[in-house]
């Protein structure tokens, strides 16, 4: 009994110590952007730093992005100082996506975290958080950072530039997907979790777009106009009939 109690106390002290030596600066980032939303590729950046103040310990970290609230159509992505992840990736350790890329922070070192917001021609506000934990103990939060973002439009009429009404269906899909309207859409690109294009289609009315020969998982569908660029992006879940 005493041994179990001592072990529990040791674990608590270790977690407490790790929380003290892992610093996030600033822990909360608030920023308002006044921008033209005519650009469908608009990419807004927010910056924070995570620091390991220990002289001896190396951290192997898992981070987890949480979208607390956001307007429909907004995307976000994380660059953790080592790698930049596509919007569908919410954590650097995600067995469902086949991701296992621990963020390593050596003693007395720091790393810049860049948080990207892609509003997709939509004004509004959003709140995000990133939680850090040890890969070995993912349920024990060591530190966190928060991003509060407001996007205000300098453009008052986006009717001709937005294609919010286009839907991708069925979702989840097994063998194929369709889009509800093809007007203005010249090309459709399917990206995997690493941001690599795995399928490209020319858009046509009433067309079914095959998902054959790609594994089950989460994909990003980009609807593209040759002149205006990306009109809309949306997640698509591919799932086998028996899944």
In a domain, residue 221? The reply is yes
Residue-wise pLDDT for 82-133, tens only, equals: 888 888 899 999 998 888 999 999 999 999 899 999 998 889 999 999 999 9
- Please check whether residues 75 and 128 belong to one and the same domain: yes
Name the maximum alpha-carbon separation found in the chain.
72
- Please check whether residues 130 and 181 belong to one and the same domain: no
* Domain enclosing residue 76, as ranges: 25-153
Residue 234's pLDDT is 85
Last residue of a domain, one of 153, 178, 200: 153
- Residue 134 banded pLDDT, cuts 50, 70, 90: very high
Residue 195's pLDDT is 84
The region of weakest confidence among 68-82, 134-148, 228-242 is 228-242
Residues near 79 by beta carbon (within 8 Å), at least 6 away in sequence = 85, 113, 114, 115, 116
- Please check whether residues 184 and 227 belong to one and the same domain: yes
Terminus-to-terminus CA distance in the chain, angstroms?
Answer: 45
Q: How many structural domains is the chain composed of?
A: 2
Count Cα neighbours of 110 within 13 Å in the Cβ-side half-sphere.
11
Residue spans of beta strands (DSSP E) within the chain: 22-25, 28-35, 44-52, 59-69, 75-79, 93-94, 99-100, 103-105, 109-118, 124-134, 141-153, 168-169, 176-179, 187-191, 197-202, 209-210, 217-225, 229-238
In a domain, residue 4? The reply is no
pTM: 0.60
- Please check whether residues 41 and 92 belong to one and the same domain: yes
In a domain, residue 160? The reply is no
- Please check whether residues 218 and 133 belong to one and the same domain: no
């Amino acid at each position: 009994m005493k041994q179990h109690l001592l072990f529990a106390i040791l674990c608590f002290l270790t977690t407490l110590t790790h929380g003290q030596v892992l610093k996030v600066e600033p822990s909360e980032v608030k920023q308002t952007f006044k921008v033209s939303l005519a650009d469908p590729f608009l990419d807004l950046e927010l910056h924070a730093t995570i620091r390991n103040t220990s002289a001896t310990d190396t951290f192997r970290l898992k981070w987890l992005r949480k979208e607390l609230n956001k307007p429909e159509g907004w995307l976000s992505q994380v660059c953790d100082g080592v790698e930049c992840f596509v919007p569908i990736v919410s954590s650097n350790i995600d067995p469902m996506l086949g991701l296992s890329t621990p963020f390593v922070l050596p003693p007395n070192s720091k790393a810049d975290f860049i948080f990207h917001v892609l509003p997709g021609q939509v004004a509004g506000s959003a709140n995000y958080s990133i939680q850090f934990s040890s890969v070995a103990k993912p349920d024990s939060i060591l530190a966190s950072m928060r991003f509060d973002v407001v996007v205000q439009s300098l453009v008052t009429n986006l009717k001709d530039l937005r294609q919010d009404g286009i839907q991708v269906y069925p979702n989840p899909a097994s063998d194929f997907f369709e889009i509800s309207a093809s007007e203005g859409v010249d090309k459709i690109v399917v990206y995997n979790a690493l941001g690599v294009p795995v399928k490209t289609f020319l858009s046509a009315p009433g067309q079914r777009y095959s998902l054959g020969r790609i594994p089950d998982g989460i994909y990003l569908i980009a609807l593209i106009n040759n002149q205006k660029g990306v009109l809309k992006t949306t997640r698509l879940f591919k799932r086998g009939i028996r899944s």
